Structure 1
């Protein structure tokens, strides 16, 4: 049984690691959103939550999900720019879902945020896998 688990982990390590760290990133996003949502409008709380969670996501994705090796400072800048660029795209999708869900449909802020995060995590997986860390994964 232990050998089977090792084989499955080796085969699906990238996906499983992404789910673990994606879950933690989502948790960071929701907790920060929940804290700042008490003091500021939801769209500003969402922006702050996005920024903090993207910093967390970049570090965890680079080190533990995709095991990215960037030999030069220029390579790190290119990778980081790509990561933040695609995350900025998903941020606009995130904001759009929040605006439609809260302001237009009058949904509960936190419930809309949870639904929003499922969509955003899936989008970010595809962006990371197909565009950002594609040449660096082994």
Structure 2
């Protein structure tokens, strides 16, 4: 039962993280920022949001000492760089080479990233 609760929590907070990511991306891209810059800024903010929610609500990490939290954050951030690369490369491919709408490309890319981030978080960070 705990396993399903964790997956459900991850899905809920994954959706919220995606909303944060897509909302920030949308506002920035509509404000005239290049989609690559918008993707990068949205990624940084959503990673911060995801770390806090994953640590506290999804994986219920009991590490509260500053040194332990910093270690978790560093691992989280470093491993999320992988998802950033996938996010950015996917956006470039979908927009520049397939001529897909920017927002549709962002949604598709986020679905891929959510699955990868769960696996990385579960197996490597919040064990």
Say whether the fold is shared (TM-score over 0.5).
yes
Change over 3 Å in CA distance of 1:71–1:34 after alignment to 2: closer
**Which residue number in structure 1 is paired with residue 7 of structure 2?**
15
CA distance in 2, matches of 1:83, 1:58: 7
CA RMSD of aligned residues (A): 1.0
Q: Residues 11 and 97 from structure 1, CA distance in 2 versus in 1: closer, same or farther, beyond 3 angstroms?
A: closer
Q: Which structure has the bigger radius of gyration?
A: 1
In structure 1, stretches of 5+ residues that fail to align are: 1-7
Matches within 5 A, 1:1-138: 8=1, 10-38=2-30, 39-134=32-127
1:73 offset after TM fit, Å? 1.8
**Unaligned regions of 5+ residues in structure 2, if any?**
none
1:69-90 deviations in Å (ceiling 9; x for gaps): 1142221111000000111110
Q: Distance in 1 between matches of 2:65 and 2:118?
A: 25
Moved >3 Å (runs of 4+): none
TM-score (norm 2): 0.95
Aligned residue pairs, count: 126
Query: When the two structures are superposed, what TM-score results if normalisation uses the length of structure 1?
Result: 0.88
**Cα distance per residue 1:50-77 (max 9 Å; x no partner):** 0111111000000000000114222111
